[in-house]
Amino acid sequence: MIGKSVPRKEGREKVTGRARYVDDLTFPGMLHGVTVRSPVARGRIRAIHFEGEIPWHEFTVVTAKDIPGKNCIALLIEDQPCLAAEFVNHPEEAVVLLAHHDKYLLEEARRAVRIEIEPLRGVFSIEDSLARKEIIWGQDNIFKSFYVEKGDVDGAWAEPGLVVEGTYETGAQEQLYIEPQGMIAQVSEAEGVTVWGSLQCPHYVHKALMILFGLPRERIRVVQAETGGGFGGKEEYPSMIAAHAALLARKSGRPVKIIYDRAEDMVATTKRHPSRTRHVTAVSHDGKLLAMDIDFTVDGGAYETLSPVVLSRGTIHAAGPYACPNVRIRSRAVATNVPPHGAFRGFGAPQSVFALERHLDRVAQAVGIAPDELRRRNFIREGQTLAVGQVVKEKVDMKGLLERAFELSGYHAKRKQFAAANSDSRAVIKKGIGFASFLHGAGFTGSGEEYLASEVAIEAKADGTVHILAGSTEMGQGTNTIFAQIAAEALRLDCEQIRIVQPDTAYVPNSGPTVASRTAMIVGKLVETAAAGLLQTLRDSGLLPDGYSAADFSRACREYITEHRALKSFVKYEHPRDLHWDDQKYSGDAYGAYAWAVYVAEVSVDMRTAEVRVNDFVAVQEVGKVINPVLAAGQIEGGVAQGIGFALYENVVWQEGRMVNAQMTNYVMPTSVDLPTIRVFFEEIPYGRGPAGAKGIGELPLDGTAPAIANAIAHATGVDVRQIPITAETLLEMLEAVHA
Amino acid sequence: MRERARKIRVSCVVNGTAASFEAYPMARLLDVLREELKLTGTKEGCGEGECGACSIEMDGALVNSCLVPALQAEGAKIRTIEGLAIGGSLHAVQQAFIAHGGAQCGICTPGMILAAVNLLARHPHPDDTQIREGLSGNLCRCTGYMKIFESVVAAVGKVEKRA
């Protein structure tokens, strides 16, 4: 089963329209709910007025006063209110909730609520936050900072060579799952709080609701409906919507559904953290990196949410797959009065990797060697140490990946050919080719997996079907299918005999959040181990013959269950003893495994319109054993497409902390005519601790795509690209500056 | 309270069966399909005709049902994703989407499949440009479209003539 392109487990439901997403569910007597939000970025709430010709007595109205437990959406800390009570700290912050059975009247009512706010001055940029123009969070506007040091950076500046500096910026990016966020809640004395929704992490929602309602674990139940894409956008925000729906359900005594429309989803929910990275690099005349001094800042928005963790991943990835002896990384997440930024595929790494890979092309140029030669002279090898002090114990062959990517893309020939053609100043279309080399760690960082202590159960039924119970969610990336493949392989059964139980906190153990490229590698391994345990039980019982058939297996299950009532195997994550991490020094084995990659982009730039097209894209990566080639390639292709959007098209326009282009018409993601053929290639070096040797891949493609494109644009035009997105407007300005 | 428009009765043919419903004249056909006719396979992604998740066929043309007022459905022949498989047998395009990874999260899939079916009706042997253009009104955030193109190519020549 491993290595086969088994069809998607829930594929038939999806292609027939029978898959049930949250908005497809209705309950008897259900009301619709809406959220009334702050019109300003920061201020003190004076009053709430219910105006207009609205029959207000028919409405369920909820404010902060109606919260039975703590007014917070509990995540790492409890700083974000569920409903603003006294102060608002970002535009579109939720203040009032309304419910009614008529959703048309509800919309009129939403517009008739006026929240009277005495405005306070807001902070809207990393610079203003760092300058502490206003203190808007804690003592100093800093959610979290990290300091990573390897070797002696300050001692290296005096060594012979060059020093190259540069500052790089990345913009916010909207996850833009095509299914907007939504939840349905039901609250009763008998059953407590139950929510059904579009979400990645049922146990995050579960924890937030326990604290909000002041209820014990067993009185809260969270069920994942079919989920139409997440990409991180449904990691933390669903807790907010679940909380709102549940508060309305509690007060009205009826089930309440809240579905965001696209505009609300875009203005109110999380986005990728904007970032600013400053590099100062010492390099020898022959292109050896001597010292890297990296300063990395992300804009966290108004509340802490997941910013410390995003910052952590961005920090650890900031120095890339290179063996530089002296590295210092200083990083921080700062507060601004914009809606909290949050998880988005890559989780901080795409930001810092963009800066590094663009910077290294500039370093190579300063030294006077080819960009690939600079990488080649510094690539990390087995036994060498990454910036965070992790000795690479896996086999790694960055040079091999580079050569293969260059061969597949025709890099060297094109690099020369384009440069020659571009030297004609009359050329209207200029072409360029560029690349990025990078790594991405799979699983929670450092001791994260140890703290998560994920659990998975597998239960065989009397009919011989095997049910996998985990909190890990399917949101399109293939959890159901690969879990089935892993279990089927371990049990020597067909995938059809394996069932995936719908994530429901009342029935499934907590296998941790479905994030961080951890589901296949970490949770998949637990599935494999649990399946092996189940098999062992059957073997020990003497019911299963050697070389058993599916029918033998079913018979053995039936007989075992008749005698023992149930056949269940339960496993809990155990952290490998040889992986060490020091949370204080922020050093050690940051990840159990890394995926390694080289991506090559070929672009053409219309010098009249500054429009960029990506003509070819080659993505070569080493990801351990590939469990399902079609699904794995689909992950990379989709990630590259999002990376192309991040690089070229996706521009969030802010005004006083509010996204003003919150529509699919003016926030532009790639369509089928915008993308090149994305060519995906895997190298497979089995990872000893992954299921059947697999590593995580979900986030990887977001890291290298944008810098490869930026380097290609620099090659085509000579423009020193320092920030993304590189829209036609921004590139036109840069071209004019070059030619001025 | 303001006087609101009165509901009208609309009769049309949906997936080969006569259908009749009451709706406000300017209600979105999308809502009528989902809420009155319980055909929830048609999805809403943006509500402004940009994403194509609500694509359906109306008198043979691919339309965004979020932009079609209910009154316009009077007398129309409508096909939604629910009308594509016959009995338990999937349409060739549906089969191809399963076999070639054309569906990931699945939310764009019903609209995307109808767009592909509509494309193949117009161009039974489409070239790369025709496929890309034929699907350009349907956004997918998961796949990067590559597996969707492969699915369409795989379905070429396998689409049966149907009444």
pLDDT in tens, A658-673: 999 999 999 999 999 9
Alpha-carbon distance A383 to nearest alpha carbon in chain B (angstroms): 37
What pLDDT is attached to residue B5? 78
Q: Which CATH number fits domain B92-155: 1.10.150.120, 3.40.50.300, 3.50.50.60, 3.20.190.10?
A: 1.10.150.120
- Written as one letter, the residue type at A660 is V
Do B133 and A631 lie within an 8 Å CB cutoff? no
Residues A704-737: pLDDT tens digits?
A: 999 999 999 999 999 999 999 999 999 999 998 8
Alpha-carbon distance B100 to nearest alpha carbon in chain A (angstroms): 7
Residues B103-135: pLDDT tens digits?
A: 999 999 999 999 999 999 999 999 999 999 999
Q: Which runs of consecutive H residues, i.e. helices, occur in A589-628?
A: none
Residue extents of the structural domains in chain B: 8-83, 92-155
Query: What average pLDDT does range A128-143 have in this prediction?
Result: 97
Adjacent-strand bridge partners of B113: none
Residues of B in contact with A7 (CB under 8 A): 98-99
Instruction: Identify the closest residue of chain A to B94 by CA–CA distance.
Output: A15
What pLDDT is attached to residue B160? 66
Do B108 and A227 lie within an 8 Å CB cutoff? no
Which candidate in B107, B113, B139 is best for mutational testing of the A interface (most A CBs within 10 A)? B107
What pLDDT is attached to residue B162? 53
Asked if residue A725 has a cis previous peptide bond (ω within 30° of 0), the answer is yes
Structure token pair of residue A376: 């080649």
**Element (DSSP H or E) covering residue A581:** strand A581-582
Residues B47-79: pLDDT tens digits?
A: 999 999 999 999 999 999 999 999 999 999 999
Cβ neighbours of residue A713 closer than 8 Å, sequence gap 6 or more: A432, A434, A603, A605, A612, A719, A721, A726, A731
DSSP A190-252: TTEEEEEES-S-HHHHHHHHHHHHT--GGGEEEEEPB----TTTTTSHHHHHHHHHHHHHHHH
Buried b (16+ CB within 10 A) or exposed e, A35-45: bbbbbbbbbeb
Residues of A in contact with B101 (CB under 8 A): 5, 8, 630-631, 633-634
CATH topology of domain B8-83: Ubiquitin-like (UB roll) (3.10.20)
Q: Can you give the pTM of this predicted structure? A: 0.98
Adjacent-strand bridge partners of A469: A457
Is the predicted pLDDT of residue A141 greater than 70, yes or no?
Answer: yes
Contact A116, A49 (CB under 8 A): yes
Residues of A in contact with B39 (CB under 8 A): 17
- Counting DSSP H helices and E strands in chain B, the numbers are 5, 5
Residue extents of the structural domains in chain A: 15-120+176-268, 275-445+585-739, 448-572
Structure token pair of residue B156: 């070429």
What pLDDT is attached to residue A49? 98
CATH class given for the domain over A448-572:
alpha beta
Query: What average pLDDT does range A11-18 have in this prediction?
Result: 98
Instruction: Identify the closest residue of chain A to B3 by CA–CA distance.
Output: A53
Cβ neighbours of residue A302 closer than 8 Å, sequence gap 6 or more: A80, A89, A90, A93, A136, A137, A335, A336, A337, A338, A339, A340
Averaged pLDDT score across all residues of chain A = 97
| Of residues A8, A229, A664, nearest to B98 (C-beta) | A8
Q: Do strands A256-259 and A31-37 pair parallel, antiparallel, or not at all (unpaired)?
A: parallel
Burial of B15 (0-12, 13-18, 19+ CB in 10 A): middle
- Written as one letter, the residue type at A48 is I
Residues of A in contact with B140 (CB under 8 A): 178, 672
Confidence of residue A346 (pLDDT cuts 50, 70, 90): very high
Instruction: Identify the closest residue of chain B to A21 by CA–CA distance.
Output: B107
Structure token pair of residue A407: 């061969």
Is the predicted pLDDT of residue B4 greater than 80, yes or no?
Answer: no
What pLDDT is attached to residue B1? 45
Kindly indicate whether the domain formed by A275-445+585-739 is annotated with CATH number 3.40.50.2300: no
Instruction: Identify the closest residue of chain B to A701 by CA–CA distance.
Output: B144
B5 vs A152, higher pLDDT: A152
Query: What average pLDDT does range A90-98 have in this prediction?
Result: 98
- Written as one letter, the residue type at A373 is E
Residues of A in contact with B135 (CB under 8 A): 672
Compute the distance between CA of residue A43 and CA of residue A15 in angstroms, rounded to an integer. 48
Query: What average pLDDT does range A640-664 have in this prediction?
Result: 98
Confidence of residue B159 (pLDDT cuts 50, 70, 90): confident
Q: Do strands B77-79 and A289-301 pair parallel, antiparallel, or not at all (unpaired)?
A: unpaired
* pLDDT above 90 coverage of chain A, percent: 99
Do B144 and A639 lie within an 8 Å CB cutoff? yes
CATH class given for the domain over A15-120+176-268:
alpha beta
Residues A475-534: pLDDT tens digits?
A: 999 999 999 999 999 999 999 999 999 999 999 999 999 999 999 999 999 999 999 999
Which of these, B93, B141, B134, B108, lies nearest to B41 by C-alpha position? Answer: B108
Residues of B in contact with A671 (CB under 8 A): 136, 139
Confidence of residue B163 (pLDDT cuts 50, 70, 90): very low
Structure token pair of residue A167: 């500052």
Structure token pair of residue B134: 């034929």
Topology match between the domains A15-120+176-268 and A448-572: yes
